[in-house]
Amino acid sequence: MNFLQLEYFCKIAELGNMTRAAEELRVSQPGLSRVLRALEDELDTSLFLRKSKLMELTKEGRVLYDGAKSILRTRDRMLAQIRTGFQVSGQVTFATSLYSKRLEVIQAFSQVYPKVQLRYERPSITEEGLRSGVIYLMPLPVEQALLDRIEAVPVMEEEFVLLASENAPYSEEIPVDLADLKEESFLIEAISAPAYHFISSLFAQAGFEPKISDSKSTNKSALVQLGAGLAFTVIQLEESRTPGTKLLHLRSPRPFRTLYLIWDKDRDLTDSERCLIQYIQKAFQ
């Protein structure tokens, strides 16, 4: 089964007549009949009820028609996107933490839109960045002044989990309540880190101030492995965690953070920026 067979089949179904379908497709009627016969042979079923010159879909034919139309629409959207990608050009300044799924999506965007140059900014929303046209994929800012000037579209949720030493007395299979870990030490990121406010909100919901073991080291996985404390990470980083550690899922509070596409609401977006926004939205649907 191929696209050409599906196109021919759909045309016959829509016109209900082999002769008219052949004329519109600009192929010979015997050739069109051979394509349909090959398709029915492959599926081992009749796709049409033949009544004089009228052809009506069988039950099996209706199933194939609905699926074929969906497949052909998807193909057409894909081809249109690829063709558009080679036409759109420009530069987009983008800011996010580039790891796992996010990195894969950005790499795929660059392949579809090879003439769009991506510049990367550090993932921290600022008024200057908004004014200069940065597109962010991040959680909402906490500052009201920034909230008042942005357009924000929710895109995805990411789950925060706890990285623990494999010797810690907790099971990876059983989610834990953060409140039950108040006697543990935690390796907390600096206050300027993008995840700091979200992690702080989890402790606030759990009702305790964490014991901070270390807040400066960049190699938290190694410290966790040595038993220096627990560290928050996102589930996408699971594959890169240090041997000798394990992941603990939280039951409460809810450990999911929403990420948004964010830009200055008073700016007119360029074609390149619109393409990036639409591409990321579809990728995470």
Mean pLDDT by 10 residues, the chain (285 residues): 89 90 87 89 90 86 92 81 73 81 81 88 89 92 91 90 92 94 87 76 95 71 88 69 85 92 92 89 81
Instruction: Give the class (CATH, top level) of 3-85.
Output: mainly alpha
At 128, which amino acid appears? E
Instruction: Give the class (CATH, top level) of 90-155+258-283.
Output: alpha beta
Q: Please indicate whether the domains covering 3-85 and 157-256 agree at the CATH topology level.
A: no
**What is the pLDDT, as a whole number, of residue 194?**
64
Pick the CATH number of 157-256 from 3.30.160.20, 3.40.50.300, 1.10.3720.10, 3.40.190.10: 3.40.190.10
**What is the pLDDT, as a whole number, of residue 256?**
92
Kindly report the pTM of this predicted structure. 0.63
> Residue 232 pairs with which residues in a beta bridge?
162
CA–CA gap between residue 152 and residue 265 (Å, rounded): 9
Per domain, the residue ranges of the chain are: 3-85, 90-155+258-283, 157-256
Ordered DSSP codes for 181-235: GTTSEEE---TTSTTHHHHHHHHHHHTSPPEEEESS-S-HHHHHHTTS-EEEEEG
